[in-house]
Amino acid sequence: EAQVTQNPRYLITVTGKKLTVTCSQNMNHEYMSWYRQDPGLGLRQIYYSMNVEVTDKGDVPEGYKVSRKEKRNFPLILESPSPNQTSLYFCASSSLPGPGGYTFGSGTRLTVV
């Protein structure tokens, strides 16, 4: 089944403790991206990657890092999480600019206390 897999689904952590949210896709998509969803703000793009070793900042990259060492994986790293990074995070992949749209992962609900 074609899918984007994010782990974990839920995570509670403490301020300053480094964490990684993993994202993997099995569709051989070149394009991958991370978003955060906050009430009243919709989805905002954090980082995106057009291919292996090619990443770029989205609208809200501060406090986040990403890497794209393999085509299928695009982990999101929070080196020193803060409470304002409490959010619902989505990973997505796409064959754009080819046909279709994004395929999103199921989301990771992160709480930083």
List residues near other proteins by CB under 8 A: 31, 33, 35, 40-45, 48, 50, 56, 58-59, 88, 90, 92, 94, 96-97, 99-104, 106-107
Q: Is 7 in contact with 18 (CB distance < 8 Å)?
A: no
For residue 16, the minimal CB distance to other proteins (Å) is 28
Residue 107 CB, shortest distance to other proteins, in Å, is: 6
Surface-to-core class of residue 93, CB atoms within 10 Å of its CB (0-12 exposed, 13-18 middle, 19+ buried): buried
* CA dist., res. 103 & res. 111, Å (int): 24
Closest approach of Cβ 53 to other proteins, in Å? 15
Closest to other proteins by CB, 36 vs 112, is: 36
What is the closest distance, in whole angstroms, from the C-beta atom of residue 80 to other proteins in the complex?
A: 26
Instruction: Give a three-class secondary structure readout of 35-48.
Output: EEEECCCEEEEEEE
Q: Which is nearer to other proteins, 38 or 79 (CB)?
A: 38
Question: Looking at beta carbons only, is 15 or 87 nearer to other proteins?
Answer: 87
Q: By C-alpha distance, which of 48, 77, 74 is closest to 64?
A: 77
